[in-house]
Amino acid sequence: MKESSTAQEFLAASSVDAEVFELRPDYRAMLLVVDGIDPRSASAMADDMIAVAEAHARMLLADRQVEDLPHIAAWREAYRAFGAKPQRTRNSLEALTRRASEGLPRVNALTDVYNAISVLHQVPLGGEDFDLYDGPAQLVRAGGEEDFATVAGGEQAIDHPKPGEVIWQDDAGVTCRRWNWRQGPRTALSDETRTAFFILDALEPMDDDSLNDAADALIEGLSSLGAEVSVSRRLIGAP
């Protein structure tokens, strides 16, 4: 981060704008900062979690379409509310659940754990490198001029969100577009990450107990990636 900030200070300064709650009063964000991890760790727990998540996805989709799963359906509705087309830009939970029935991508133990938790608990979940943030995390509706550093055609590029789009940002620019659709490479997790920042996004019908259960399961899974893993957390909901 640009200035030294403790996990507690970062979480206390992070925010969700009132315009987002006007769009979805039922929205809640569970924020976690997890320190002391090694993404390159060999983790039997991560392997087991991936297998269980893949089986869970197959069970969920045995008798219904992915877009009919309750939390995915709620996120599709939220996307339409700010002008996105969910059939073209799928939220991260829907994208992972579709892939999980055939096999989740394997990256490293850190990413594998949070992908598995997303599918198992049916919650959009993003992970980023805490030390690459420039100021606190802010969920806002875009004006359209914000910078989103991305990669296009193998080259670094700057894109911009559409006006009204829901975005996560820090002081340097957009970190994730369309609420939980696409994270940028600037704050991406890597094998060098030692402190990770996670966002778990909830809409009704997911209640606070289920959201806390998902956070607890994520923490348990990440505890296998370091000898002294420590966690700070904050739940943000409508005032």
pLDDT in tens, 170-183: 999 999 999 999 99
Token output for 57: 């996805």
pLDDT at 1 over 70: no
Query: pTM (2 decimals)?
Result: 0.95
- Note the CATH architecture for domain 7-237: 3-Layer(bba) Sandwich (3.50)
Q: What band does 227 get if pLDDT is binned at 50, 70 and 90?
A: confident
The strand pair at 125-129 and 195-202 is best described as antiparallel
Return the axis-axis angle of helices 92-100 and 109-121, rounded to nearest 10°.
Answer: 100
Token output for 56: 């869970």
pLDDT, tens digit, 9 for 90 and up, residues 190-223: 999 999 999 999 999 999 999 999 999 999 999 9
pLDDT at 51: 95
**Alpha helix locations (H) across the chain?**
7-13, 18-23, 44-60, 70-81, 92-100, 109-121, 208-222
pLDDT, tens digit, 9 for 90 and up, residues 102-155: 899 898 899 999 999 999 999 999 999 999 999 999 999 999 999 998 887 777
